[in-house]
Amino acid sequence: MELQYLGTAAAEGWPALFCDCRICRHARETGGKELRTRTQSLVDGKILIDFPPDTYAHALGYSLQLGKIKHLLVTHSHMDHFFPVELIHRHEHFGHHAEGMLHVYGNEAVEEAFYGAVLIDRFRVHPLDEAVKFVRLKPFGDFMADGYHIIPVPADHDKREQCFIYIIEKDGKCILYGHDTGMALSREAWDCIFSHKYGLVSLDATMGKKQTDGYHMGLPDGIAFVKLLEAQGCLQEDTVKVINHFSHNGEMTHQQLEEFAETHGMKAAFDGMKVAF
Ligand SMILES: [Zn+2]
Ligand SMILES: [Zn+2]
Ligand SMILES: [Zn+2]
């Protein structure tokens, strides 16, 4: 299995759109891995995770043929994870030869945002019935997509909606995709997470050096999370552990995140990073 990190920033981007803090200034001056677009990932070039406003830039930058993608997992409705108005461009009028149906999986808030964006008057002449189909997910309501077994697990994030993290399995390989979430997960969520063995664990690191009590995670939480997985026998010797979804408010540069990750046997994600396992 392969996971590519197309974007690795939190909602405001990195550098943040309107920010001139030390971290953002450093990012602008240094460039390269210090620049991040909003979080989005791609599994084996087939399963897209989240749909931020930077999706178009990702398609350009990585030469993606998004018209071939048939499955999009959405974690929650925050705009850095779901910017649904772009989906209108999968209609044949704009997206020639887009293959079959794009299935968009998400919670009720994602569903509302989807229909709110694509059913507006201006777009009624280009209905998406043949191009994009929304599929509402329930907590732990697992399903198959293109040979992948996918489990939506309730996250510890915005309480106004049922945010999901995802477990994605195929051919004995397994990913835990844990963005955006804190560690205050339900007993059922932990049980579900503990009942798998992972080749790749991708954890929220929005808060950087800070420890938080939910909603997101900082680096100390990431270490604690990995310890829990270890204790439950969920990790193999070669499990790849990645921290991802970074904010300038975490007060660390990419280089510092990389150094931290290395000393703890992890990888700090950067835009374009590929992990094969
Ligand atoms: Zn986010
Ligand atoms: Zn900043
Ligand atoms: Zn969020």
Tell me: the pLDDT tens digits for 144-186? Answer: 999 999 999 999 999 999 999 999 999 999 999 999 999 999 9
Question: What is the per-residue pLDDT across 123-145, written as a single tens digit (0 to 9) for each?
Answer: 888 889 899 999 999 999 999 99
Dist. CA 97 → ligand 1 center (Å): 31
State in Å: Cα 78 to ligand 3 middle.
5
* Residue of 73, 85, 234, 198 whose CA lies nearest to 141: 73
Q: Band of the pLDDT at 6, cuts 50, 70, 90?
A: very high
In this structure, which ligand is nearest to the CA of 22?
2
Give the Å distance between the CA of 151 and the centre of ligand 1: 20
CA–centroid distance, residue 265 to ligand 2 (Å)? 27
- Ligand found nearest the CA of 207: 1
Mean pLDDT for 10-27 is 97
Task: Give the closest ligand to the alpha carbon of residue 15.
Answer: 2
State phi, psi for 194 to the nearest 5 degrees: -70, -15
State pLDDT tens for residues 207-240.
998 888 899 999 999 999 999 999 999 999 999 9
171 — alpha (psi -120 to 50), left (phi > 0) or beta?
left
Nearest ligand to residue 76 Cα? 3
pLDDT at 122: 82
Tens digit of pLDDT for each residue in 64-91?
999 999 999 999 999 999 999 999 999 9
Residues in the chain: 277
Per the CB < 8 A criterion, the answer to whether 92 and 131 are in contact is yes
Q: Is the dihedral of CA 143, 83, 192, 44 positive or negative?
A: positive
Asked if 137 contacts 101 with a C-beta cutoff of 8 angstroms, the reply is no
Structural domains of the chain ordered from first start: 2-276 (3.60.15.10)
Ligand nearest to the CA of 157: 3
The predicted structure's pLDDT at residue 201 = 98
Q: How far is the CA of 164 from the centre of ligand 1 (A)?
A: 12
Give the model's pLDDT for residue 123.
82
Q: Estimate to the nearest angstrom the gap between the alpha carbon of 147 and the chain centroid.
A: 20
Locate 178 and state its tokens. 């844990």
Nearest by Cα to 241 from 207, 195, 206, 203: 203
245 CA to middle of ligand 1, Å?
A: 7
Strand partners, 38: 9
Count CB-CB contacts under 10 A for residue 256. Answer: 15
Residues 230-272 have pLDDT tens digits of: 999 999 999 999 999 999 999 999 999 999 999 999 999 999 9
Distance in Å, CA 53 to ligand 1 centroid: 12
The contacts of residue 219 (CB under 8 Å, 6+ apart) are 205, 207, 208, 209, 243, 260
| Cβ atoms < 10 Å from Cβ of 228 | 13
Q: How far is the CA of 77 from the centre of ligand 3 (A)?
A: 7
pLDDT tens figures, 102-126? 999 999 999 999 999 998 888 888 8
pTM for this predicted structure = 0.97
Q: What's the CA gap between 259 and 240, in Å, rounded?
A: 16
